[in-house]
Amino acid sequence: MGWIKFLGTAGSRFVVFKQLRASGGIWLNYGGKNILVDPGPGCLVRCVESKPKLDPMTLDYIFLSHRHLDHCADINTMIEAMTEGGFSPRGVLFAPLDALEGEDRVIFRYLRGYLNGVEVISGGSFELDGIVVDAIPLVHHGVQTFGFRFSSSGEQTLSFIMDTRFFSSIPERFKADIMVLSVTLHRKREDIDHLSLDDAFNIISLAKPKLAILTHFGRGMLLKKPWLIAEELSKSTGLNVKAASDGMKVDF
Ligand SMILES: [Zn+2]
Ligand SMILES: [Zn+2]
């Protein structure tokens, strides 16, 4: 038993930076743990304005898929909020190496000591308090990017396909009871490493989740109304497909 709350559903630069949709990432309650995934611009504000309010000091883990701003803009803010500015160290951060080291690192060094741990994601599986996490490498515009699959005994399996171009092992590697897909493009564009609606159709048809949730929408997706797109996909795949909206909570 657990839940997912969408603190934002914005995908493309245009949608994020005009705030046509919010961009705060995803709060996941899974296996009794609170996990924040990709705290983009506005994450802290979205947490405190949630009803009921989401308290960052209850977070156990922060996962960062990649260092693009729409995913990491509030990551330092959330580390401060989670640890009361370092007075109450807690939580473990998981992030790709290029978000932690190198010229364009995005996580301040002085904050790292506020945490109980900082772990580099490099692909493969690891276990956290009875939760098995698969970090699955994705292909996305030259930055290290990972998607995640969570499993735990007695829980439904859950996966997050973050920003990526389509590749053939996605359906099998991310197969889960509940799959969250970042579907930014309405029409496929070979020059942009994001999933399109056709890619989403292929992934969902092959992986057959109990529930697929679309999010991270670009402008083309918003113009075509994601909830109508989800209805169409439900009909064409015969499966349960939902479109995320800002603030939407899904219990499982
Ligand atoms: Zn993105
Ligand atoms: Zn990105």
pLDDT at position 78: 98
d(CA 145, CA 137): 6
Q: 16 CA distance to ligand 1 centroid (A)?
A: 9
Any idea what the CATH number is for the domain that residue 223 is in? 3.60.15.10
Q: 5 CA distance to ligand 1 centroid (A)?
A: 17
Among all ligands shown, which has an atom nearest to the Cα of 12? 1
Q: 66 CA distance to ligand 1 centroid (A)?
A: 8
Q: Give the range of the structural domain holding residue 200, as residue numbers without chain letter.
A: 3-251
Q: 154 CA distance to ligand 2 centroid (A)?
A: 33
Q: 71 CA distance to ligand 1 centroid (A)?
A: 6
Among all ligands shown, which has an atom nearest to the Cα of 70? 1
- From residue 78, alpha-carbon distances to 4, 14, 88, 92, 115 in Å are 18, 24, 13, 12, 11
Q: 154 CA distance to ligand 1 centroid (A)?
A: 31
Ion ligand 1 contact residues with beta carbon within 5 A: 70, 163
Q: 138 CA distance to ligand 1 centroid (A)?
A: 12
Region of residue 123 (left: phi > 0; alpha: psi -120 to 50; beta: else): left
10-residue mean pLDDT profile of the chain (252 residues): values are 97 96 98 98 98 97 98 98 97 98 95 98 95 98 96 97 98 98 97 97 98 98 98 98 98 97
- Token pair belonging to 126: 């690891």
Q: What tens digit of pLDDT does each residue of 182-191 get?
A: 999 999 999 9
pLDDT at position 174: 98
Among all ligands shown, which has an atom nearest to the Cα of 16? 1
Report how many domains make up the chain: 1
Among all ligands shown, which has an atom nearest to the Cα of 13? 1
Q: 163 CA distance to ligand 1 centroid (A)?
A: 5
pLDDT at position 116: 98
pLDDT at position 54: 98
